[in-house]
Amino acid sequence: MNRTIPPSIKDAVEFNITLKPYEKFTLDNGIPVYVIKSDEQETLQLELVFPAGSWYESESLEATATNFLMKSGTSKHTAQEINESIDYHGAYLNRNAYHENATYTLHCLSKHTEVLLPVLQEVILDPIFPEEELNLYKQNQKQKLAVNLQKCDFVANRFIDKYLFGEFHPYGRVSSMMAYDALQTETLRGFYKKHYTYNNCRIFVAGHMPDNMVELLNKYFGSTPWNGDSRLTKLDLLIQPAEERKFRIFNDENGVQGAVRLARPFPNRYHPDFPKMLVLNTIMGGYFGSRLMSNIREDKGYTYGIYSQLYNFRQTSAINIQTEAGRDVCEATIEEVYKELLKLQNEPVPKEELDLVRNYMIGSVLGDLDGAFQLIQRWKNLILNDLDEHYFYNNIRTIKTITAEELQQLAKQYYSPGDFYELVVI
């Protein structure tokens, strides 16, 4: 080996990426369990997923409140006792409610799995929703909301979703003081019993698994049809976007900064243009070297950061360009965004820039596949959206092969300034 000659550089796009398959087994009561094993570290992640997001609400905020308060007391232990038990073993029990799904995720050392699974079982199967905990939750959330409503970026996020989807649609509905006041324990218990059931549950496990993991999961989650057999019907909710396109809101008359949002509807991930748009979106505003950052941050100095994102909602999607800029340059920022949109319509992306973006995106995918925890998240996103590895490989193929001409046609179809909602909140 001649060490005076440096090794050749290999671009990320040259790597042959493979998605490590998961293992699957089914508990005695029918709950599917998806597993990515790894013995690199003696840590474990166990996540229970339920179709219990805001999409299924009959009353505003009940999904989020139910998910949060399940951890706030059972018939055997108080919220403090539950938290102390988890903290004592150096573990974390996180809960989240999204638009479609709600989750409970346990992170722990593998050796503590047998001790912590009974705690998790109590939280999932035996929450009692104490009245005092609900009152405390309402008080805290209303205080947070009051503070956040003073922030222009928070207000802008609320309004742009309402314009895109409609104020009564789950994707556009927002929290309010009145909605928090209306929350009742019986409402939360009813939502819990309908959605947090054995037949609505899916379990995702990653990391170092104890030898008796299957037996433990069967013991605590697979032995009975807990909470009954609840069959959820697929809801088809009407999107009612705003008719007007331009909005200016003065949230703080003395504010020195404005939140800018430019957004338009876009098909969901099942549409053939979605993988292509991921590439175009990255070029536009999806990484630090993007068109928007180079122009509006680096050249004009209007903002510290400007980004474009593609919503990953199951039912529909949207393109959302967002930034915060000085009050006196918000309108100029919008004009520069439109210039960049039109530039992508009128000029093909140079080869050097496209190659850079390809390598950036493939490099990001490689990072996402590094380790069992990242792998199970990738698989979870596919499984929950009724997709398989073919979708993953199609995305990789699109990143590697899409042409400048295809991107230009895509920009002409989806980057017309007149199709965007335009919002400034000061």
Number of domains in the chain: 2
Question: Which pLDDT score, from 0 to 100, does residue 418 have?
Answer: 96
Q: What is the DSSP string of 368-414?
A: HTSSHHHHHHHHHHHHHTT--HHHHHHHHHHHHH--HHHHHHHHHHH
> Does 8 fall in a domain?
no
Question: Which pLDDT score, from 0 to 100, does residue 122 have?
Answer: 97
CB 421 within 8 A of CB 157: no
Question: Which pLDDT score, from 0 to 100, does residue 15 have?
Answer: 77
Residues 213 and 312 in one domain: no
Residues 253 and 335 in one domain: yes
Fill in the DSSP letter of residue 159: H
Residues 27 and 61 in one domain: yes
Dihedral class, residue 103 (left if φ above 0, else alpha if ψ from -120 to 50, else beta): beta
Residues 303 and 390 in one domain: yes
Question: Which pLDDT score, from 0 to 100, does residue 237 have?
Answer: 83
Give first-to-last CA distance, the chain, whole Å.
63
Question: Which pLDDT score, from 0 to 100, does residue 77 have?
Answer: 96
Contacts of 257 by beta carbon, 8 Å cutoff, 6+ apart: 152, 324, 325, 326, 327, 426
> Does 121 fall in a domain?
yes
> Does 87 fall in a domain?
yes
**Domain containing residue 356:** 246-425
Residues 156 and 217 in one domain: yes
Question: Which pLDDT score, from 0 to 100, does residue 10 have?
Answer: 74
Question: Which pLDDT score, from 0 to 100, does residue 234 have?
Answer: 66
CATH number, position 395: 3.30.830.10
Residues 275 and 366 in one domain: yes
Question: Which pLDDT score, from 0 to 100, does residue 338 have?
Answer: 98
Helix (H, G, I), strand (E, B) or coil at 80: helix
Contacts of 50 by beta carbon, 8 Å cutoff, 6+ apart: 101, 102, 103, 195, 196, 197, 200, 201, 202
Residues 206 and 276 in one domain: no
> Does 413 fall in a domain?
yes
> Does 13 fall in a domain?
no
> Does 269 fall in a domain?
yes
Residues 154 and 46 in one domain: yes
pTM for this prediction = 0.94
Residues 68 and 205 in one domain: yes
- In sequence order, what E strands does 305-375 have? 306-310, 317-326
> Does 260 fall in a domain?
yes
Residues 101 and 56 in one domain: yes
Q: Choose one of 206, 222, 238: the last residue of a domain.
A: 222
Residues 365 and 264 in one domain: yes
Q: Choose one of 165, 189, 222: the last residue of a domain.
A: 222
Mean pLDDT of each 10-residue bin along the chain, 426 residues long: 80 83 97 96 97 94 98 96 97 97 98 98 97 98 98 98 96 96 97 96 97 97 90 79 96 94 96 97 97 97 97 93 97 98 98 97 93 96 96 97 98 98 98
Q: Choose one of 155, 190, 222: the last residue of a domain.
A: 222
Residues 181 and 281 in one domain: no
> Does 82 fall in a domain?
yes
d(CA 209, CA 203) in angstroms, rounded, equals 14
